[in-house]
């Protein structure tokens, strides 16, 4: 139903999807930095760093946008999540701070940020755990009074942890697919092609096992599952035939469908099992203003984002130079 | 340590850390754009070097500011869920706008940093201008949200709920103008004089064209802001006198309501009539003292007063240095030859940042025990989660480490003079 609260909930889901597709890939880059191996180890790490550099901050803002819209438009849902998921959210913040430190250190401090990069891998896992806790409906149905029951038991479940690991694998998969297009040599491209194929297999296996094994898993619409499966097959096929642009589209579509599937599975609830989008919504005037702000913001931001990605991500062989040694200006 | 105090301390540490990055993030892009413009005009390579150094500085601080800002947007809910559940629909508006301004800043900073040889010189300079403008805008929106907490308007409060809310009226809250003016000027004064002061210090040790250029641009941004700041401070103080008299009484340790109120400088040292004159521009005006409010609605008087005095003393010193710079510029003296001025300027370098911290202590501690002034007590807004000393300690240790890293990286990348 196209009500105002539903539209804004949809926008929040879109912002989260954008964060997963863009920011998630930055975290996934961290996985490949950690797992760099073989004769081109240093080149792989260098590629990851250069791919993330120009877009890291912009990608990160999607999460801030989702959070701000959540507390503006659905304040009670935000407050409930913030209380019940205090611990994993705080741990996730620590991961985000460590990722930021790693980024600063690797870009400007001459390396040495690998410890931070490794530690920051907890962030995707914790993000997934929080999503899993919301999706499973545990937050809305706290049983018991104890500290453990209230603040830990809701998210420290096998299902939520599985979603956390799944998120990490998805992010690594996205990063590997994107990096095939940014690789500066054919060998490097092959490295990430194989990484993409292997992680895609892991994504599909985990998704299938997760939906089959967990009773708490949300009931995802069968159409969405088949579409995501089709996208997975198409992505694998494109990777096999080295059609990397097609593979990137397939990977993005697949992950978008996963996030969308989560959203639709818990509709009309914003916090399953019982807090609905309509019940959690802020007064109408707030929603209207938020929608106006989003539309006005989009008019400014989308062309700007297009410009940013066109400059740095369109050419097959990007020559972005690390910012520590900026090239002399052409005169 | 009680959970409430731990939560307040965690918020204070997070804000105190973030505000430095916010302040530099507002003003540094202006310096970087000015340097690039000088380079395009004069083709003097010193300015290109400066533009690139300052761009790297902006990038480093922005990267850290982005994460510490993310932390804050979560902490609002993690620590103060009741406040966010109540106030989210009202102050969400400035936060949403801030989100978009921040987004614009991030996009064009990416273009600026990595686009030196990918876009035309004009497009590159324009990207820098957009970074500066959106940086200032995002600061303004956040300060508006804070101003609303000081003078909450745009709602009716009934049965513990906000009804008839008007987010636009809330953004036009009376505290918005004085706070935004005072904070924006503070950002330019602190960063401008900070940069000029560092290079004054380096110049005293060894003069260089590089330091002279940096110092001049720093003064160009910082000195006018520092000179104007006492005027905006006066505007801010007069609004506090009218809208938050308890805060003013704490700032000036005025215990009894009286006319012709003095300013207390130290134990037993008073300037008669000065407070009435400053607060209401009338020596005989009645100034409300702490006795006008019940004891349980007083802020921490000693801390608020101390912070206020630190801010005023350092701010006044910066204004004097700014005037001195203006005087030297009018007489067309070369700053590099004025050793006494360079010494005074070097001392001013950290003053702006200390003043900003002290000023926020005044605003935030002075509003206590309220989180929404007169409406919701901070103690009623805190999360029910126990053991808050743990996240407070972790965040504090993490930020200390991060501050050290940033300090080292900044020194290597920006301040250290180019190899001869």
Token pair, residue A118, equals 């490794």
In chain A, what is the straight-line distance between the N-terminal and C-terminal CA atoms, in Å?
A: 57
Least Cα distance to A305 among B103, B29, B97 occurs for: B103
Give the domain extent around B370.
178-385
> What are the residue ranges in chain B where pLDDT is below 70?
207, 414-420
Distance from CA of A270 to the nearest CA of B (A): 15
B241 lies within 8 A of chain A by CB: no
**Which chain A residue lies closest to B105 (C-alpha atoms)?**
A58
- List, for residues B358-386, the tens digit of each pLDDT value: 999 999 999 999 999 988 999 999 998 88
Out of B59, B77, B384, the one facing A78 most closely (by C-beta) is B77
Instruction: Give the three-class secondary structure for B163.
Output: strand
Name the band, by pLDDT with cuts 50, 70 and 90, for residue A326. Answer: very low
Q: What is the pLDDT of residue B81?
A: 92
Asked, for residue B344, whether it belongs to a domain, the answer is: yes
Q: What is the mean pLDDT of residues A283-298?
A: 91
Q: Which residues contact residue A41 at a Cβ distance below 8 angstroms, ignoring those fewer than 6 apart?
A: none
Interchain contact, A311 vs B165, CB within 8 Å: no
Q: Please state which CATH class domain A4-311 belongs to.
A: mainly alpha
Please state, rounded to an integer, the average pLDDT across all residues of chain A. 83
Residue A315 has pLDDT above 70, yes or no: no
List, in order, residues 6 or more apart from B352 with CB less than 8 Å away: B23, B186, B189, B190, B191, B193, B194, B222, B226, B314, B318
Task: Tell me the sheet residues that pair with B161.
Answer: B158
- A56 chain-B contacts, CB cut-off 8 A: 63
Residue A275 C-alpha, separation from nearest chain B C-alpha, in angstroms: 14
CA distance B304 to A55: 42
Q: Which residues are bridge partners to A271 per DSSP? A: A275
- B378 in any annotated domain: yes
Q: Could you give the angle at the alpha carbon of A152 between the alpha carbons of A147 and A154, nearest 5°?
A: 115
Q: Does B400 touch chain A (CB under 8 A)?
A: no
CB-closest option in B88, B103, B408 to A72: B88
Report which secondary-structure segment, H or E, holds B271.
strand B269-271
pLDDT in the model for residue B420? 38
* Residue A328, pLDDT score: 39
For A241, list phi and psi in degrees, rounded to 5.
Answer: -90, 10
* Model ipTM value: 0.87
Which of B59, B70, B96 is closest, CB to CB, to A72? Answer: B96
Going by C-alpha positions, the residue among B229, B237, B208, B272 that lies closest to residue B418 is B208
Give me the residue from B71, B93, B107 closest to A305, CB to CB. Answer: B107
Quick check: A81 contacting B, CB < 8 Å? yes
**Chain B residues with CB inside 8 Å of A90's CB?**
78, 391, 394
- Is the per-residue pLDDT at A316 higher than 60? no
Q: Which of A76, A290, A301 sits opposite B104 (nearest CB)?
A: A301
A38 phi and psi, to 5 degrees? 85, -175
- In angstroms, the separation between the Cα of residue B346 and the nearest Cα of chain A is 26
Q: Which of B 320-359 lie inside 8 A of A, CB atoms? A: none
Reported as a single tens digit per residue, the pLDDT across A62-88 is 888 899 999 999 999 999 999 999 999
Residue at B219 is within a domain: yes
Q: Is B123 on the interface with A (CB under 8 A)?
A: no
Q: Is A293 on the interface with B (CB under 8 A)?
A: yes
Alpha carbon dihedral A66, B63, B103, A302, in 10-degree steps, equals -100
Closest of B103, B134, B108 to residue B55, by C-alpha:
B108
Give the Cβ contact number of residue B296 at 10 Å.
Answer: 7
Q: Are A72 and B88 in contact, with CB atoms under 8 Å apart?
A: yes
Give, for A76, the enclosing helix (H) or strand (E). helix A75-84
B110 alpha-carbon distance from chain centroid: 24
Q: pLDDT band at residue A111, thresholds of 50, 70 and 90? A: low
- Contact call for residues A259 and A16 (beta carbons, < 8 A): yes
> Look-up: residue for tokens 């803002």?
A61
Task: Measure the CA–CA gap between A255 and A250, rounded to whole angstroms.
Answer: 9
Is B67 in the A-facing interface, judged by CB distances under 8 Å? yes
The label of the residue with tokens 């985990």 reads A206
Look up tokens 């636009």; give the residue. Answer: B168
What average pLDDT does this structure show over A88-110? 81
> Is residue B245 in a domain?
yes
- Classified as helix, coil or strand, A271 is strand
Q: Which chain B residue is nearest to residue A79, measuring alpha carbons? A: B81
- pLDDT at residue A313 greater than cutoff 90: no
The domain total for chain B is: 1
Q: What is the DSSP letter of B336?
A: G
Q: Please, what is the Cα angle at A308 between A307 and A311, to 5 degrees?
A: 85
pTM metric for this prediction: 0.88
The answer for B378, left when phi > 0, alpha when psi is -120 to 50, beta otherwise, is alpha
> Cα torsion at A227, A168, B383, A80 (round to 10°)?
10
Q: Would you put residue B374 in left (φ > 0), alpha (ψ -120 to 50) or beta? A: left
Position B107 scores a pLDDT of: 86
Q: DSSP string covering B239-263, please?
A: HHHHH-HHHHHHHTT--S-EESPPE
For residue A93, list chain B residues with Cβ-Cβ distance below 8 A.
Answer: 70-71, 74-75
Query: What is the least distance, in Å, from the CA of B141 to any CA of chain A?
Result: 13
Say if residues A310 and A114 touch (Cβ distance below 8 Å). no
Q: How many residues does chain A have?
A: 331
Q: What is the mean pLDDT of residues A261-271?
A: 88
Provide, as residue numbers in chain A, all residues whose Cβ is less than 8 Å from the Cβ of B395.
94
Q: Give me the residues of B, 175-204, that contact A with CB < 8 A.
A: none
**Within a 10 A sphere around the Cβ of B330, how many other Cβ atoms?**
8
């Amino acid at each position: 139903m196209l009500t105002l609260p539903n539209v804004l909930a949809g926008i929040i889901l879109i912002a989260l999807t954008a964060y997963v597709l863009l920011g998630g890939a930055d975290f996934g880059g961290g996985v490949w930095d950690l797992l760099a191996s073989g004769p081109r180890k240093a080149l792989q790490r260098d590629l990851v760093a250069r791919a993330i550099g120009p877009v890291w901050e912009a990608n990160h803002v999607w999460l801030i946008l989702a959070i701000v819209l959540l507390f503006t438009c659905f304040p009670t849902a935000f407050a409930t999540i913030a209380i019940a998921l205090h611990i994993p959210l705080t741990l996730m913040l620590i991961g985000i701070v460590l990722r930021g430190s790693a980024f600063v250190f690797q870009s400007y401090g001459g390396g040495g940020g690998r410890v931070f990069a490794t530690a920051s891998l907890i962030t995707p896992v914790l993000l997934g755990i929080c999503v899993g806790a919301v999706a499973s409906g545990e937050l809305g149905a706290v049983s018991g009074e104890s500290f453990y029951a209230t603040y830990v038991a809701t998210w420290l479940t096998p299902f939520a942890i599985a979603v956390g690991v799944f998120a990490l694998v998805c992010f690594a998969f996205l990063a590997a697919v994107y990096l095939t297009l940014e690789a500066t040599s054919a060998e490097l491209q092959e490295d990430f092609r194989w990484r993409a194929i292997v992680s895609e297999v892991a994504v599909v296996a985990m998704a299938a096992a997760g939906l089959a094994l967990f009773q708490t898993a949300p009931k995802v619409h069968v159409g969405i599952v088949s579409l995501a499966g089709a996208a997975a097959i198409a992505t694998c096929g494109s990777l096999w035939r080295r059609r990397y642009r097609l593979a990137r589209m397939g990977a993005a579509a697949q992950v978008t469908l996963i996030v969308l599937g989560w959203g639709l599975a818990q509709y009309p609830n914003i916090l399953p099992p019982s807090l609905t989008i309509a019940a959690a919504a802020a007064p109408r005037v707030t929603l209207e203003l938020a929608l106006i702000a989003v539309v006005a913001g989009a008019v400014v931001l989308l062309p700007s984002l297009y410009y940013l990605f066109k400059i740095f991500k369109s050419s097959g062989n990007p020559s972005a130079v690390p910012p520590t040694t900026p090239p002399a200006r052409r005169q | 340590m009680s959970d409430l105090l731990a939560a307040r301390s965690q918020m204070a540490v997070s804000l105190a850390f973030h505000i430095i990055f916010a302040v530099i993030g507002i003003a540094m892009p202006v310096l970087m754009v000015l340097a690039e413009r000088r380079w395009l005009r004069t083709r003097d390579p010193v300015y290109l070097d400066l533009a690139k150094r300052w761009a790297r500085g902006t990038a480093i601080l922005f990267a850290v500011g982005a994460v510490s800002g993310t932390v804050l947007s979560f902490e609002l809910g993690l620590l103060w869920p009741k406040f966010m559940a109540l106030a989210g629909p009202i102050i969400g508006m400035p936060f949403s706008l801030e989100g978009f301004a921040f987004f614009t800043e991030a996009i064009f900073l990416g273009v600026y940093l990595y686009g030196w040889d990918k876009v035309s010189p004009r497009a590159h300079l324009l990207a820098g201008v957009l970074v500066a403008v959106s940086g200032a805008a995002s600061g303004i929106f956040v300060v508006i949200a804070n101003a609303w907490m000081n003078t909450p308007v745009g709602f009716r409060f009934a049965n513990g709920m906000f009804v008839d809310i008007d987010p636009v009226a809330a953004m036009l809250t009376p505290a918005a103008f004085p706070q935004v003016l005072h904070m924006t000027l503070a950002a330019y004064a602190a960063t401008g004089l900070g940069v000029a002061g560092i290079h004054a210090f380096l110049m005293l040790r060894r003069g260089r064209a590089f330091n002279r250029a940096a110092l001049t641009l720093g003064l160009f941004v910082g000195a006018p802001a520092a000179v104007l700041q006492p005027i905006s401070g006066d505007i801010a103080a007069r609004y506090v006198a009218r809208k938050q008299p308890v805060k003013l009484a704490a700032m000036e340790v005025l215990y009894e309501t009286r006319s012709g109120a003095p300013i207390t400088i130290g134990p037993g040292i008073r300037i008669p009539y000065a407070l009435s004159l400053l607060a209401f521009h009338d020596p005989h005006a009645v100034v409300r003292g702490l006795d006008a409010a019940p004891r349980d609605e007083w802020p921490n008087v000693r801390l608020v007063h101390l912070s206020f005095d630190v801010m005023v003393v350092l701010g006044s010193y910066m204004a004097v240095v700014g005037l001195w710079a203006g005087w030297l510029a009018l007489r067309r003296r070369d700053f590099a030859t004025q050793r006494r001025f360079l010494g005074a300027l070097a001392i001013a370098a950290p003053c702006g940042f200390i003043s900003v911290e002290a000023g926020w202590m005044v605003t935030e501690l002075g509003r206590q025990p309220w989180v929404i002034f007169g409406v919701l007590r901070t103690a009623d807004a805190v999360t029910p989660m126990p053991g808050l000393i743990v996240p407070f300690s972790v965040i504090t240790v993490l930020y200390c480490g991060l501050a050290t890293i940033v300090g080292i990286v900044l020194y290597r990348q920006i301040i250290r003079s180019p190899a001869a």
